[in-house]
A = this chain, B = another copy of it.
Amino acid sequence: MTSVAKRKITRPVCLGNVQIGGGAPVAVQSMTCTDTRDVKATVAQIRRLEKAGCEIARVAVPDMDAAMALGAIKKKINLPLIADIHFDYRLALEAIRRGADGIRINPGNMKPGKIREVIKAAKASGTVIRIGINSGSLEKELHAKYGGATADALVASALRNIALFEDMGFEALKISIKSSDVLTTISACRIVSQKTDYPLHLGVTEAGSIIHAAIKSSLGIGILLSEGIGDTIRVSVTGDPVSEVGVAYGILRALEIRKVGPDIISCPTCGRCEIDLVRLTREVEKKLAGMKTYMKIALMGCVVNGPGEAVEADIGIAGGRGFGIIFKKGKMARKVREKDLVPALLEEVKHLAAEKQKSR
């Protein structure tokens, strides 16, 4: 029995060597917060994102200098590069010329006539385009017609723009409909997923600082993914974009859509806990940051659920007074003093990760 619906198979598009849709794994995206004109800083951030597991990098292109910097950036990175364009179609044309793998345009702030110019250029160069509808920048007349940036208004904007692209025979499309409102995002994406077969990029826009972003994105993105909707995701965090990648994989891992990185199960501690589990958990998380191999690691403070959870995990600790028992694959492995627990656990994790790598 599964709680997650079978994924809808959408039409595939390729961003560099990353396929989106068509049954490909749900791809994790992020966006830089550097000044795109600063090539060095932007490249450094994209490399940090890549190291964290990000698979597609988007950069803001607010002016012509930023558009012209894309060529230099592209040369120095491995990830597919998306140029984020608003208002000025000439920036889109320049981004295409400079070799962006994809561009994202926002039809709410670009005229249909100008969008046609962009489509022509993208078609000639094989560039993917994301139609990125956003609650904060919906076309004015749709805002008026629907009485706000409602789900129906956002869907109407998406469909009307899809038609514009299809009229010109352009189908290398991704679609996103993002609202800062979680329920509007869910409703709009459900409808658009029924009405089209293009791959969908999911996200709750302006979701806030990390904890708020984790909540809103898990709900907005997670509920849709659990219904089989969505081909690529971006968690929006006010803060270091590297943290967006961690949250994205956390969502995918919990829903068992992609098993990447350690699943750390740790108890909330209570009046029964006899070891400093909060500190221990923090240390283990810090040491394992960026690890890609999937495994279940249980960090448990006492004997109520401790041994039970530790046994179910690949590697587990159940704490006692001043010591802990390490479990491996369901079997008690050894008893260690509290101060030696973290190194002993990390050693086991390292061994298991190496084994898993070998058996791949």
Binding site for B on A (CB under 8 A): 1-4, 31-37, 42, 59-62, 66, 84, 86, 106, 109, 134-138, 148-149, 151-152, 180, 182-183, 186-187, 190, 205-212, 214-216, 218-220, 222-223, 226, 236-239, 241, 243-244, 246-247, 250-251, 254-256, 264-273, 277-278, 281-282, 285, 298-300, 304-309, 312
Contacts and interface: CB of A to CB of B under 8 A. Distances in A.
Contacts of A149: 308, 312
A272 B138 contact: no
Given A226-B223, A250-B215, A305-B205, A298 B265 contact: no
Contact of A238 (B4, B36, B226, B269): B269
Contact of A33 (B42, B190, B206, B273): B273
The 9 closest A-B pairs by CB, nearest first: A136-B305, A60-B271, A136-B308, A218-B218, A60-B270, A214-B214, A136-B309, A215-B250, A3-B186
A246 B211 contact: yes
A222 B251 CA distance: 13
A95 to B, nearest CB: 13
Given A62-B271, A135-B309, A136-B305, A281 B208 contact: yes
A15 B239 CA distance: 41
B66 A31 contact: no
A144 to B, nearest CB: 13
A20 B312 CA distance: 32
A151 B2 CA distance: 10
Contacts of A281: 208-209, 238
Contact of A210 (B205, B211, B236, B239): B211
A299 B237 CA distance: 13
Nearest to A226: B223
A258 to B, nearest CB: 14
Contacts of A272: 60, 62
Contact of A209 (B31, B106, B247, B285): B285
15 contacts: A3-B183, A32-B271, A33-B268, A33-B270, A42-B271, A61-B271, A106-B304, A137-B304, A209-B266, A215-B254, A218-B219, A238-B267, A238-B277, A239-B278, A244-B268
A254 B181 CA distance: 7
Contacts of A32: 270-271
